[in-house]
């Protein structure tokens, strides 16, 4: 499963921008949970979100419905 | 994961038409959320929707149930 | 992702028959939605349903639970 | 997507036995629906169930939670 | 789809142990159902559970959330 | 299905750290269940969690929404 992220994809690039600019985001999961924080890293399986107390949550991509900048 | 969109598929082409014509659409997600707006881009993993205030939401394909023109 | 529909599969063929004969169908989605109409096309990712007003809905296969002729 | 059913797998073989012996089964779907009837065919994407009135329902495998003989 | 079970994986091996030792297990499905019984076989698509009356239920892996020994 | 875990991925490595340091974690599943305990092992299909009584639960990856250190 040594699949790399395709950095040419808009979705990959935009998440990279969100990481670099430390944008506050809101993530809606298929469980109905809404998590907010900053994205620290992404890989092919997961996205890691830091909550306001810098606690990391490792989120599986299959459980993500959408992500958007927090207003 | 350098998979390209297959632009020969009807689904890919119709989403491209929706993007080009800036059609207002309604998307139903598996979470039950209904999002409305214009599709800005699609790639193999995600579809990006702009809400009426031009705010982008990156939606994972696995969470999409259906998309249709808003009436 | 240039995967073609395998027209040798019973499921593909039966959907093709439904398209050709313009059979009125009922589709149950994993969201719980029940959509009715006629199937216009299918590809490897999606199935397009026309409602009674000829409005198209593009439905992602992953969200389909079942399809059956409307009685 | 010309993937054949692996007839060496226990699951494939048992569904084939259910088809051949016209066993009445109960299928629970991830939508919560419970469908009963006889399995007419299976392919890599779908399983077709006939209800007591011989009406076919094409069920996508991804939506199947379990199948068992109806008691 | 002639994919074999990878018997080197901890998950495959532990299910094999559960089968061999006829351990009573509890399975939680994504439907919310909790099934109990003994695992009779596993393949790449399904796991077969025998209920206390020796009735088999064929469970699709995609619908399994977790499995644990029944206490 | 002899796919190995890609130990170069941040997600794989962080789960390995959680295993090695015996960090108490909280896992949210797509069923809505929240399980707590220590991760004993991971493979490409599953993650095994030990509850406070050292009872193992084998959790399928597809059912995992997120994992985070228990505070």
Q: Which of B3, B7, B9 to mutate to test the interface with C (most CBs of C within 10 A)?
A: B9
Rounded to an integer, the average pLDDT of D27-53 is 96
E18: Cβ–Cβ under 8 A, 6 or more apart, which residues? E25, E39, E67, E69
* Surface-to-core class of residue F54, CB atoms within 10 Å of its CB (0-12 exposed, 13-18 middle, 19+ buried): exposed
Nearest CA in chain E to D10: E43
E15 CB within 8 Å of a chain F CB: yes
Residue-level pLDDT at D20? 97
Of B31, B46, B48, the CB nearest to A30: B31
Question: Considering only CB atoms, which chain D residues are within 8 Å of E43?
Answer: 9-11
| Chains B and E are in contact, defined as 3 or more C-beta pairs closer than 8 angstroms | no
| pTM score | 0.92
ipTM of the complex: 0.91
Give the number of other Cβ atoms within 10 Å of residue C44's Cβ: 16
E6 found inside a domain: no
- Digits of tens for pLDDT over chain C (71 positions)? 346 788 889 999 999 999 999 999 999 999 999 999 999 999 999 999 999 899 999 999 999 999 999 98
Shortest Cα–Cα distance, A28 to chain B (Å): 9
Asked if F38 contacts F22 with a C-beta cutoff of 8 angstroms, the reply is yes
Tell if the CB–CB gap between F2 and E8 is shorter than 8 Å: yes
Q: Which helix (H) or strand (E) holds B12?
A: helix B10-20
Take residue D49 and report the two structure tokens written for it: 């169930």
Supply the range of the domain harboring residue D59. 24-69
Residue tagged 């079942």 (tokens): C66
Question: Rounded distance, CA D41 to CA C39, Å?
Answer: 21
D65 found inside a domain: yes
User: What DSSP assignment string belongs to F14-66?
Assistant: HHHHHHHTT-EEEEEETTS-EEEEEEEEE-SSEEEEE-TT--EEEEEGGGEEE
Q: What is the CATH number of the domain that holds A58?
A: 2.30.30.100
B19 found inside a domain: no
Residue-level pLDDT at C3? 60
Nearest CA in chain D to E28: D65
Residue B5 binned pLDDT confidence (cut-offs 50, 70, 90) = confident
Residue B4 binned pLDDT confidence (cut-offs 50, 70, 90) = confident
Helical ranges in E4-71 per DSSP H: 10-20
**Cα dihedral F69→F56→A64→B10 (10° resolution):** 160
Question: Rounded distance, CA A2 to CA A59, Å?
Answer: 19
B13 CB within 8 Å of a chain C CB: no
- How many distinct structural domains can be found in chain D? 1
Residue-level pLDDT at B3? 60
Question: Rounded distance, CA F65 to CA A34, Å?
Answer: 12
A18 found inside a domain: no
Nearest CA in chain C to B31: C31
B32 found inside a domain: yes
D3 found inside a domain: no
Cα atoms in the Cβ-side hemisphere of radius 13 Å centred on A26: 11
**CA dist list (Å): B63 to A18, A40, F10, F35:** 21, 23, 24, 24
D19 found inside a domain: no
Residue-level pLDDT at D1? 38
Q: Sign of the CA dihedral E55, D56, E44, F50?
A: negative
A9 found inside a domain: no
């Amino acid at each position: 499963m040594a699949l790399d992220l395709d950095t040419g994809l808009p979705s990959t690039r935009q998440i990279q921008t969100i990481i670099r600019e430390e944008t506050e985001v809101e993530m809606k999961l298929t469980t109905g949970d809404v998590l907010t924080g900053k994205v620290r890293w992404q890989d092919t399986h997961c996205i890691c979100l830091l909550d306001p107390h810098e606690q990391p949550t490792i989120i599986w991509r299959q459980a993500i419905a959408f992500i958007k900048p927090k207003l």
